[in-house]
Amino acid sequence: MSRSDRTHLHQIFPLEEYGDTLIITPTGDAAGFHLPHVHAEMAAATDYFDKSELKHLVFDLSRARYFGSQILGQLIVFSQKVKSQGGRVALANPSTEMLDVLRIMKVDSIWEVFPSRNKALSTIASRPFSAHLVQFGRRSFPVVLLGCLGAAWWYWPRRNLDHHYHDQLLGIYRESRQLLDANPRDQDWDQHLTRSRQQLEKITAELETIASSQREALRRMIYCSRDYLFPALQDKLKLDSYPHFMFFQEMKAGEKEMREPVKTLSETLRPEGLTNPRALPANPS
* DSSP 8-state code for residue 111: S
Higher pLDDT, 8 or 18: 18
pLDDT at residue 30 greater than cutoff 60: no
Which of these ranges, 129-138, 245-254, 257-266, has the smallest mean pLDDT?
129-138
Domain ranges of the chain: 2-127, 128-158, 161-268
How much is the CA Rg of the chain, to the nearest whole Å? 23
Average pLDDT over residues 231-243: 95
Instruction: Summarize pLDDT for 47-57 with one digit per residue, the tens.
Output: 999 988 899 99
Helices (H), the chain: 6-9, 35-51, 69-84, 96-104, 117-124, 129-138, 142-155, 161-181, 186-210, 216-223, 229-234, 242-257
Q: Of 159, 210, 167, nearest to 40 (Cα)?
A: 210
CATH domain 2-127 topology: Transcription Regulator spoIIAA (3.30.750)
pLDDT at residue 283 greater than cutoff 70: no
The pLDDT value recorded for residue 183 is 95
Q: Tell which phi-psi region holds residue 85, choosing left (phi > 0), alpha (psi between -120 and 50) or beta.
A: alpha
Instruction: Summarize pLDDT for 79-132 with one digit per residue, the tens.
Output: 999 999 999 999 999 988 889 888 888 888 999 999 999 999 999 998 765 554
Helices (H), 105-185: 117-124, 129-138, 142-155, 161-181
Higher pLDDT, 75 or 11: 75
Per-residue pLDDT band at 63 (split at 50, 70, 90): confident
Q: What is the pTM of this model?
A: 0.46
The pLDDT value recorded for residue 209 is 78
Per-residue pLDDT band at 29 (split at 50, 70, 90): low
Arithmetic mean of pLDDT over the chain: 82
Max Cα-Cα span within the chain: 81
